[in-house]
Structure 1
Amino acid sequence: MKLSTLYCVLSLLQAALSSPIGPSKQLEALHRRNVFYAGGEYVFNATQGGTILINQQYVEELIPAAGAKHPYPIVFFHGGGISGAQWLNKDDGNAGWASYFLNQGYVVYILDIWSVGRSSATDLPPVLDARTVELVEIAFSAPEVYKNYYQAQFHTQFPGTGLKGDPAFDDFYARLLPLQFNARQENITRTSTCALLQIIGPAFFISHSIGGSAAFLATDGCPTLVKGHVAVEADQAPFTSYDTSVVGANMSSPARAYGIADVPLTYDPPVTDPSQLVQKMTGQLQYKDGLLFRYPCIKQGAPVHKLVNIAQAPVLFLTTQASVHILFDQCLVQFLEQAGVNVNFTKLADIGIEGNGHFSMLENNSDSIATYILSWLVTHE
């Protein structure tokens, strides 16, 4: 290729890179991308009269263009009702946490948790087809407008108004997918994620919301391959789920019969039936200035069973100032600590990172949170 031709090609490439398509404002970190599926098994399908592959989980591998600088990669687990795209560009067009950690020299793996997105399963009915605009605004993007709980008033970091019609909200809402989560999914996610770790070796986990359940399950399944787990408002409370639209009442429903999962976990003494886990209610429903302030928790009664596999990986558990999770995240932390897990419970407002809701990785100050996570990761390498 002539030098002049090469220059033209490079000029066109530079122009493309400097002129983002759509809403993008900040390009993703330079990287090499590989796509593959982990796990899965061949089964004979009588209806189709042949053999098919099922239960595989979609994975993206992102490798820094300059090469890895850290010995262990990061595996990202997305939240419920959304896909692994959560970790790429943010709704304001800026680069997300995948780029942040790529720029720090980490190899990054992004999952679509089994049954969701590109890991979809056609034989599973959605638990929730779609969330209405109003429920998304209440729980995630604009709780300060609805003020259904006391801490909602402190929410300031979602880009734009957080309401329907705002470009950032519309982009966020368009990302939402049917939510599927049940015992079958938990078992397959545990198996397929451990299959991934068998390929890539030991890794750190960064999870969000329901993705925290998937990460804990994988730690239970292959603890020697998990270096540590950063849980950003992971899942829900032990043994119960609270209504994330929080209309002001103690709206809860039984869930996660094995404490933090609907499937058996590695406890000591062993737990072969959920009835062996004695449930003990602690605390009470609290209000402040007439608004919901804190939910009660359920811990183990005697005898206390230890999560011996999950306890092998340290946990950094983050809760934001204004998310609905501020009402009940302490319940999961208390349960984990009681079960022998080493948890660093950090309320972000206590370290000066204020105004965030549940999707903090997509909000204006997300890099400040990522920087705090980075400091924890480095100390646990």
Structure 2
Amino acid sequence: MPRTNFLISLILALTASSASAGEGPLVIEKQGYFYTSGQEYDTEVGKVIADRMYVEFQIPAKKKHPYPVVFYHGGGSTGAYWGMTPDGREGWREYFLRKGYAVYITDAPMIGRSGYNSLVDPELIITPHNPEAAERMFTNTEETPLWPQASKHTQFPGTGKRGDPIFEAFVSRGVPTVEALRPGNVPPPLEVVARTDKLVQKETAKLLEKIGPAIIVTHSRSGTFGWLIADARPELVKAVVAVEPNGPPFVNALPGSDLEDIARPYGPTYAPLTFDPPVDDPAEIAPVERLAPADEDLIGCWPMAGEQRTLPNLKDVPVLIVTGEASYHAQYDHCTAEFLQDAGVNAVHIPLGSVGVHGNSHVMMSEKNSDAVAGVIADWLDDHVK
């Protein structure tokens, strides 16, 4: 087929796909990309620029909201995660553009298009392609449930198993990262993940100074970013939407984890937050006990030790935590919400099952009802961001 005819056929097919969903063509007024400035380093080969953050943006022709949405991807991934779903449908990027939001999508420093630099960055870990883990944790949790809620999973498109083209499209999105598990399933050093936290906090401050106040949307590993960004520049953060944020506070609670080892010394983050009274040493707030769970399907939470402290810079920032009904996060996202609430933050936790959105795993933005999940977020933003 001649190239011109192929392009015309592709455009018509995409337009028909949109029209069949009752939406019509998506009209973009402006789009592009840029990098934050990063930092200059002296190296053995001379000066280099590293630790920049890639940002792409689209602004709809019918912009209806004053504040843009800024998306941060999860671990081992890139901002491409927010675009088309693995079965070829429009993703959350398009959903919020159609809702009239300007959309900015980032790649975290040292990953994807933000450029890893071996002269200054921590060791890059090339993880083995592990589709079996993806099946167990994300796409086919119902077959061999590792946590109580896993059997409720119904929403991943296709079979969720190796060999299915949708599954292969999903797992192909993984990328090497400085934060991958080391050989023997050893977690990355605290200084590595704390460095990522600090870099995103610093580079996002530059981003918000450029584009103005925004809504921050995080997922999984990037959950820590939202708290740190709001802590650093609360006047420029209109809301934080945390989709199954990295947690729970202080420890990791993935299936098989040691529930007593401190992973995040500042509760919900690896890098320091601003507490009142101040925390000079994270040992001051390290939990000394785990509370009894409120339900047999939940994990008991780890409250901060010592005198009650607040997070004063987050007190005026509305926070939404969203949790899938079948995700491993369904065991413990309530702990993150309670930690923030106890610290004076206006945090709301919505387990999706409680609002009639059922069957979702940790990768809900890639699942069959992704628009329904996005709709819960959009409705909350309508009520809380003016």
Tell me the distance in 1 between the aligned counterparts of 2:143 and 2:172. 21
Q: 1:350 to 1:285 in 2, by over 3 A?
A: closer
Q: 1:128 to 1:147 in 2, by over 3 A?
A: farther
Tell me the distance in 2 between the aligned counterparts of 1:103 and 1:331. 33
Runs of 5+ unmatched residues, structure 2: 180-192
Pairwise CA RMSD of aligned residues? Answer: 2.6
**Identity %, equivalent residues:** 37
Tell me the distance in 1 between the aligned counterparts of 2:87 and 2:347. 32
Indicate if the aligned counterparts of 1:40 and 1:55 stay in contact, CA closer than 8 A: yes
Whether 1:86 aligns to 2:94 is: no
Q: 1:67 to 1:85 in 2, by over 3 A?
A: same
Aligned to 1:4: none
Indicate if the aligned counterparts of 2:352 and 2:358 stay in contact, CA closer than 8 A: yes
Letter in 1 for 2:218: S
Under a length normalisation based on structure 2, what TM-score does the superposition of the two structures give? 0.87
Post-superposition shift, 1:201?
A: 0.3
Tell me the distance in 1 between the aligned counterparts of 2:25 and 2:76. 23
Match of 2:153 among 149, 152, 155: 155
Aligned to 1:16: 10
Aligned to 2:368: 364
Tell me the distance in 2 between the aligned counterparts of 1:128 and 1:343. 36
Number of equivalenced pairs: 362
Aligned to 2:187: none
Tell me the distance in 1 between the aligned counterparts of 2:259 and 2:286. 22
Post-superposition shift, 1:109?
A: 0.2
Q: Which has the higher strand share?
A: 1
Q: 1:313 to 1:180 in 2, by over 3 A?
A: farther
Moved more, 220-229 or 279-288: 279-288
Match of 2:197 among 177, 186, 196: 186
Tell me the distance in 2 between the aligned counterparts of 1:235 and 1:33. 30
Aligned to 1:336: 340
Indicate if the aligned counterparts of 2:52 and 2:115 stay in contact, CA closer than 8 A: no
Q: 1:34 to 1:264 in 2, by over 3 A?
A: same
Tell me the distance in 2 between the aligned counterparts of 1:272 and 1:155. 43
Whether 1:101 aligns to 2:96 is: yes
Match of 1:29 among 20, 23, 26: 26
Indicate if the aligned counterparts of 1:163 and 1:169 stay in contact, CA closer than 8 A: yes
Post-superposition shift, 1:184?
A: 1.2
Q: 1:17 to 1:252 in 2, by over 3 A?
A: farther
Look up the SS of the partner of 2:142 in the other structure.
helix
Tell me the distance in 1 between the aligned counterparts of 2:25 and 2:278. 46
Aligned to 2:219: 208
Post-superposition shift, 1:252?
A: 5.8
Whether 1:54 aligns to 2:53 is: no
Whether 1:111 aligns to 2:106 is: yes
Moved more, 143-152 or 177-186: 177-186
Indicate if the aligned counterparts of 1:39 and 1:193 stay in contact, CA closer than 8 A: no
Tell me the distance in 1 between the aligned counterparts of 2:195 and 2:216. 22
Indicate if the aligned counterparts of 1:236 and 1:332 stay in contact, CA closer than 8 A: yes
